[in-house]
Chain A
Amino acid sequence: MSTELERTVPVTEEAELERLVGDRALSTDDHKNAPAFVVRPDAVQDVLFDLRDEAGFDHLSCVTAQQYEDRYETIYHLKKYDDPTQEVSVVVPTSTDEPVSQTAEPVYRSADWGEREAFDLVGIDYEGHPDPRRILLPETWQGHPLDLSYDQDKPQLVTLAEHANPLQEDHRDAETDTMFLNIGPHHPATHGVLHVKTVLDGETVADVEPDIGYLHRCEEQMCEQGTYRHQIMPYPDRWDYTANMPNEWAYARAAEDLADLEVPDYAQVLRTMGCELSRMAGHFLALGTFALDVFGDFTAIFQYAFRDRELAQDILEDLTGQRMMYNYFRLGGVAWDVPEPREEFFEKTRDFLDGLPTKVEEYDDLLTGNEVFQIRCVDTGILEPEIAKQYGCTGPVARGSGIDYDLRRDDPYGYYPELEWDVVTEDGKDNYSRVLVRMQEVEQSAKIVEQCIDLLEEWPEDDREIQSNVPRTLKPDPGTETYKAVENAKGELGIYIRADGTDTPGRFKIRSPCFHNLSTLAEMSQGEYVPDLVASLGSLDVILGEVDR
């Protein structure tokens, strides 16, 4: 297996962790994925600094907040970029009367947005947070929707006087000669409804602040109201709606870990193939829309990218019956086998894969080999790897900055460990590198799909089990908690589930890679020109459906 990561990172044993946290731990907890330490609200930074600097947990993957009957709780899910199988959770309980907890922002920059979301949706205050505002909901929102005492039926009436229109404020300032510019929420280059508050000095970007939440659809809450077995699986398709299938795996992986479900090998191959086809479709779209941002019009390259995405979608349609919202995964397997006649399906997929090298050449000619494209993209939107890690960047964005991090290899799942493929990284750290990474990942995905097709073709007919035995109603033990992530087209998509003994999750938290990737926009584009800001935004390939959830 060429894909096995050489584990040079020392494994931090649990005993070592216990020594490190010491008596700052009130108690320990056992999450299914990692050991968890319960610490006092005023020791958060202390503990996190030690875990980061002494034990090497440099990746704050996710901040989960939730409310119990007797307390609020913030969970910091920590990982190591060099070995994401090493995990530890830091649980911070706070009282119901006064939910105040120390901020983790000085330790991990990614806690900035993470804690803002926790405050917004659950209502925990973070002491010392540099920017304690709502992030997904409007400033005028009353209450915190995931708070147990929140009354969903109470209408959110905002009087006209109170109603703040962020676009209407007068930002004129006699002292400075900068200009405030709203890019979005409706703008050709924001790839959805994103509002970027920009301060310009001439054409130079002085400051950028992404304002998100326009596409917030309460996905977490909806998942909490659905039953594990069938009602949750359709939702993941709606997060990253350009490369949908890997999202389903995120939920499947977390739920299967929670309930200890087995998945037959044959289903794993089907899952792997479907996800990689979906990843290709997503990357084609990313390449096309990035070209749209840089070329400036719906030009040839955009249409070529869509043509190729279409081919991948056709195959997925044959496989799942759907073009976008596949709903193909089931807990413990997949919905159905490849369509009959099987040969036809395999042939169609092979045709697509065989045609790919010529198309990649086309992309090289029109896109990456184009000199004008190069002067636009090389050395613009620089994202230093240290900064990327601070913000919790993953996926092609991290790999474009030279961070060798891919959960398919580093935290293996599915059939990936059995297949021959490589993790693509580029060292340019710029917009161009991120494009190169996606281009090469398309080829790697094709390689994986090809191997899956071979496997499926030769699979003995009496062993084609697509679904393991799963109880009709799934009720994981109360108090079981897990956090599991997969590599979707944009990066690390993690799901935290806490079971409460019923057939629906007690808490369902989505860790969105786009959410974290987008938070680096300011770092990337300050001091550059407006066109570079647009290109950087395009190269991050954010899908607002996943950012806002």
Chain B
Amino acid sequence: MTGPVPLQSDGETYLLPERIADLTGLGEFGIAGESIAALLGAALVGTLMLTMTAVAGPWAKRKITAAFTDRIAVNRIGPFGLFIIVADAVRLISKELIVPENADRPAYDLAPIVVAGSAMLGFAVIPMGSGIQLADPEVGVVYLFAVSGIASIGLVMAGYASANKYSLMGGLRAVAQNVAYEIPLVVTGMSVVIFAGTLQLSEIVAVQAEPLIELGGVALPSWYAFVNPFAFGLFIAANLAEVGRNPFDTPEAPTEIVAGYQTEYSSVYFVLIYLGEFLHIFLGGAIIATLFLGGPAGPGPAALGIVWYIVKIWAVFLLTQWFRSALPRVRIDQLIEIGWKGMLVLSFANLVLTAILVGAIA
């Protein structure tokens, strides 16, 4: 079995902090050195993800939406308008930070950090290929769902602390929606765990590398998207609701409740919330890639893993933008109804069937 992360001689996965420690010789300084190595590794992964969201936020989203709507979008500053990212960063940071008079601080100030931070935490356990994985706990899947769920708290904090009725409604909608869709999301994720027989993400990725069927000399890997496309579809739908994208973007719903929980945020706080949203889309993409699309697996040498990983999460991002341009938003009550009456039932059915199937094969 060849995992996404090179193995050490004792069979343990060789994680990024350890490699940094070995490469730089920090390992010799004991616990302190290892901590510094871990920080360096985290900084590397964080920078990678933030760079991608920074590109996605101001530039890619405009370009993609423009392509869907017969327009050109930014093209004046730099090649393909890429330097708009710099202009946007300057613009957003230099704006005045307006805090509502009755805002409930420090909840109001903490909320953007919670929203953005919870997504960053998730990336700690994702095997990104090319040997990049910060940690690989045995309960990786549980950890992943747990930290991405923290975002809901941030949204409620933002909605409640802003002292704005629209924000409050947005915050309440966000909670109702996340509760309704988190369960199908986790339950569907569990069906993958049953298949793989492990909660460890590196293992789940490794299991998917096995060939499913041979077609004319080309081996189709047993990615769970191929093994159980039904669960894959369910997971994508639940994930859309989880990250609050169309057709499930009710917590923001600009035409109804202005911008929901983020109505009162400006300047850097707004950037953080915006960033948090994009990080969550990317984290959703990373979870989908890891659980269903074989993680960093792809043609070519294993060193290309990180490239395939990035391609996959961008594919998920593209999908969310496609939905955004094409689908109307469902109403909040309809959304909750779909969640509790439809998705929940389907996800449990999928779980039971998977369990029976796996049991029968075993």
B32: Cβ under 8 A from any A Cβ = no
Q: Which of A251-259, A290-298, A443-451 contacts B (4 or more CB under 8 A)?
A: A290-298
Do B69 and A298 touch across chains, with their CB atoms under 8 A apart? yes
Do A188 and B254 touch across chains, with their CB atoms under 8 A apart? yes
Chain A's closest residue to B249 (CB) is A296
Do B327 and A370 touch across chains, with their CB atoms under 8 A apart? yes
Which residues of chain A are near B165, meaning CB under 8 Å?
A: 179, 181
> Contacts A179-B165, A188-B254, A303-B69; is A297 near B324 (CB within 8 Å)?
yes
Min CB distance B34 to A, Å, is 46
> Contacts A188-B255, A297-B254, A531-B253; is A307 near B70 (CB within 8 Å)?
yes
A376: Cβ under 8 A from any B Cβ = yes
Which residues of chain B are near A302, meaning CB under 8 Å?
A: 69
B326: Cβ under 8 A from any A Cβ = yes
B333: Cβ under 8 A from any A Cβ = yes
Which residues of chain B are near A291, meaning CB under 8 Å?
A: 328
Min CB distance B256 to A, Å, is 5
The complex places the Cα of A179 from the Cα of B169 at a distance, in Å, of 11
Do B328 and A370 touch across chains, with their CB atoms under 8 A apart? yes
The complex places the Cα of A298 from the Cα of B249 at a distance, in Å, of 13
Min CB distance B74 to A, Å, is 15
The complex places the Cα of A340 from the Cα of B247 at a distance, in Å, of 49
The complex places the Cα of A274 from the Cα of B71 at a distance, in Å, of 28
Min CB distance B213 to A, Å, is 34
Do A532 and B329 touch across chains, with their CB atoms under 8 A apart? no
Which residues of chain A are near B65, meaning CB under 8 Å?
A: 298
- Give the bracket for the number of chain B residues in contact with chain A: 20 to 34
A91: Cβ under 8 A from any B Cβ = no
Which residues of chain A are near B68, meaning CB under 8 Å?
A: 299-300
A270: Cβ under 8 A from any B Cβ = no
The complex places the Cα of A328 from the Cα of B331 at a distance, in Å, of 44
Chain B's closest residue to A296 (CB) is B329
Which residues of chain B are near A303, meaning CB under 8 Å?
A: 69-71
Which residues of chain A are near B333, meaning CB under 8 Å?
A: 203, 529
The complex places the Cα of A296 from the Cα of B253 at a distance, in Å, of 6
Most buried by A among B169, B249, B329: B329
The one of A366, A376, A534 in contact with B326, judged by C-beta atoms closer than 8 angstroms, is A366
Within 8 A of A (CB), among B55-73: 65, 68-71
Do A296 and B254 touch across chains, with their CB atoms under 8 A apart? yes
Do A532 and B324 touch across chains, with their CB atoms under 8 A apart? no
Q: Mark A371-409, 1 if CB is under 8 A from B, else 0.
A: 011011000000000000000000000000000000000
Do A372 and B330 touch across chains, with their CB atoms under 8 A apart? yes
The one of A181, A296, A298, A304 in contact with B328, judged by C-beta atoms closer than 8 angstroms, is A296
Min CB distance A373 to B, Å, is 5
Do A299 and B169 touch across chains, with their CB atoms under 8 A apart? no
The complex places the Cα of A370 from the Cα of B331 at a distance, in Å, of 15
Chain B's closest residue to A375 (CB) is B334
A530: Cβ under 8 A from any B Cβ = yes
Min CB distance A194 to B, Å, is 13
The one of B258, B325, B330, B332 in contact with A299, judged by C-beta atoms closer than 8 angstroms, is B325
A104: Cβ under 8 A from any B Cβ = no
Which residues of chain A are near B328, meaning CB under 8 Å?
A: 291, 294-296, 370, 372-373, 376
A189: Cβ under 8 A from any B Cβ = yes
The complex places the Cα of A291 from the Cα of B246 at a distance, in Å, of 14
The complex places the Cα of A332 from the Cα of B334 at a distance, in Å, of 55
Do A299 and B255 touch across chains, with their CB atoms under 8 A apart? no
B257: Cβ under 8 A from any A Cβ = yes
A163: Cβ under 8 A from any B Cβ = no
The complex places the Cα of A39 from the Cα of B329 at a distance, in Å, of 54
Which residues of chain A are near B247, meaning CB under 8 Å?
A: 372
The one of A203, A294, A298, A529 in contact with B329, judged by C-beta atoms closer than 8 angstroms, is A294
Total chain A interface residues with beta-carbon distance under 8 A: 31
Which residues of chain A are near B249, meaning CB under 8 Å?
A: 296-297
Q: Mark A45-57, 1 if CB is under 8 A from B, else 0.
A: 0000000000000
Min CB distance B91 to A, Å, is 20
Which residues of chain B are near A298, meaning CB under 8 Å?
A: 65, 69
Which residues of chain B are near A529, meaning CB under 8 Å?
A: 331-333
Do B256 and A189 touch across chains, with their CB atoms under 8 A apart? yes
Q: Mark B82-123, 1 if CB is under 8 A from A, else 0.
A: 000000000000000000000000000000000000000000
Which residues of chain A are near B332, meaning CB under 8 Å?
A: 203, 529, 531
Most buried by B among A293, A300, A303, A307: A300
> Contacts A294-B328, A372-B327, A372-B328; is A304 near B255 (CB within 8 Å)?
no
A216: Cβ under 8 A from any B Cβ = no
Which residues of chain B are near A307, meaning CB under 8 Å?
A: 70
> Contacts A296-B246, A531-B253; is A304 near B70 (CB within 8 Å)?
yes
Within 8 A of B (CB), among A435-480: none
A230: Cβ under 8 A from any B Cβ = no
Most buried by A among B166, B253, B255: B255
Chain A's closest residue to B327 (CB) is A372
Which residues of chain B are near A530, meaning CB under 8 Å?
A: 169, 256-257
Q: Mark B230-261, 1 if CB is under 8 A from A, else 0.
A: 00000000000000001101000111111000
A342: Cβ under 8 A from any B Cβ = no
Chain B's closest residue to A372 (CB) is B328
Which residues of chain B are near A203, meaning CB under 8 Å?
A: 169, 332-333
Do A189 and B169 touch across chains, with their CB atoms under 8 A apart? no
The complex places the Cα of A294 from the Cα of B334 at a distance, in Å, of 14
The complex places the Cα of A293 from the Cα of B247 at a distance, in Å, of 13
Min CB distance B170 to A, Å, is 11
A187: Cβ under 8 A from any B Cβ = yes
Do A534 and B330 touch across chains, with their CB atoms under 8 A apart? no
The complex places the Cα of A336 from the Cα of B278 at a distance, in Å, of 55
Which residues of chain A are near B257, meaning CB under 8 Å?
A: 530
The one of A187, A295, A370 in contact with B258, judged by C-beta atoms closer than 8 angstroms, is A187
Min CB distance B151 to A, Å, is 20
The complex places the Cα of A105 from the Cα of B165 at a distance, in Å, of 35
Min CB distance B99 to A, Å, is 19
Chain B's closest residue to A538 (CB) is B255
The complex places the Cα of A302 from the Cα of B254 at a distance, in Å, of 15
Chain B's closest residue to A189 (CB) is B255
Which residues of chain B are near A370, meaning CB under 8 Å?
A: 327-328
Within 8 A of A (CB), among B37-52: none
Most buried by A among B68, B254, B258, B328: B328
The complex places the Cα of A293 from the Cα of B253 at a distance, in Å, of 9
The complex places the Cα of A302 from the Cα of B332 at a distance, in Å, of 22
The one of B70, B71, B331 in contact with A531, judged by C-beta atoms closer than 8 angstroms, is B331
Within 8 A of B (CB), among A169-188: 179, 181, 187-188
Most buried by B among A294, A298, A304, A372: A372
Min CB distance B336 to A, Å, is 11
CB-defined A-B contacts under 8 Å, sample of 6 = A293-B255, A370-B328, A372-B329, A530-B257, A531-B332, A534-B256
Question: A-side interface residues toward B, CB under 8 Å?
Answer: 179, 181, 187-189, 203, 291-300, 302-304, 307, 366, 370, 372-373, 375-376, 529-532, 534
* 6 additional contacts (CB under 8 A) given A299-B69, A299-B324: A188-B255, A299-B246, A302-B69, A303-B70, A529-B331, A531-B329
Closest 9 CB pairs of A and B: A303-B69, A296-B329, A189-B255, A295-B328, A373-B328, A372-B328, A300-B325, A531-B331, A294-B328
